A and B are shown apart, each in its own frame.
Chain A
């Protein structure tokens, strides 16, 4: 053999495949970006401040939570804690994609910033494997949609109205459901999924947002048990 074939997981997917898979989500993310921009402006944030937050934090739920708390007169500490709790899930999520993200430290740092729920879910190949090109393609497109939406929301205001009126908030769980389905054909994965959902729902009334998701992640330790 003259050259080694690339690993199987890398073959067959390109960055544009990731973008193609993510575009319907990118539309929804863009509209939520607009509504976040409007909220940020109402809370007194400048174009620069809001855009910088979208470009660095790049996590919708945390940004909505933090700015709502500040906008309603809550404390800075409460806003920071709420956002960090909501983003804590990116610790285990980052660990799960780490083997797929190669290259220099700088490259790994940059690609890791494209990890959000949607790009992570799209890049998931099952069995703990992730495709870096799908992740980068989906992440880039959604990143662009989120930042551009923020700018549009600050400059243009509430042009499209409430994204929830359009049902866009249901688009995200629908994506996660369709990506979950092929993975739970195996019995253990199904048990873990049910446990994860049950833990999350049980904690919703008693904890701050974000905590139910982190706690649900602990259900993956059922994977330690023998088959």
Chain B
């Protein structure tokens, strides 16, 4: 059981530190000029990576499964400018349906 508590405390402390590092160090100040352009591109880079891995990655391998179908429908909904809620519900519903059949 000691091992579990060590895991909880170490992972908790490190994660809290990682999350707090930027905001605590920077103190609400603006980022230095050159960094602003870089950080502005962080969102497209990370969001695209999250979409890609959460759709096509499973257990250290690439896979095409029901999630891909759900995301394809979501992409169509996004292109038609559907509200975010509709996009999310459609993706989940189509994925669930594909898994059921």
Binding site for A on B (CB under 8 A): 1, 3-8, 10-16, 18-31, 34, 36-57, 60-62, 66-67, 70-71, 74-75, 77-79, 84-85, 87-97, 99-100
B81 to chain A minimum Cβ distance, whole angstroms, is: 9
Inter-chain residue pair count (beta carbon < 8 A)? 319
Q: Which residue of A lies closest to B53 (CB)?
A: A200
Binding site for B on A (CB under 8 A): 21, 24-25, 28, 43-45, 49, 52-53, 56-59, 62-63, 66, 70, 76, 79-80, 83-84, 87-103, 105, 108-109, 111-113, 115, 117, 121, 124, 126-128, 164-181, 183-184, 188-190, 192-201, 204-205, 207-209, 212-213, 216-224
Main SS of the interface on chain B? helix
A75 to chain B minimum Cβ distance, whole angstroms, is: 9
Q: Which residue of B lies closest to A121 (CB)?
A: B47
- Is A204's CB under 8 angstroms from B78's CB? no
State the CA gap A171–B71 with chains docked (Å).
9
Of the candidates A103, A126, A216, the one having the most CB atoms from chain B within 10 angstroms of its own CB is: A216
Q: Which of A43, A127, A218 contacts B40 (CB 8 A)?
A: A127
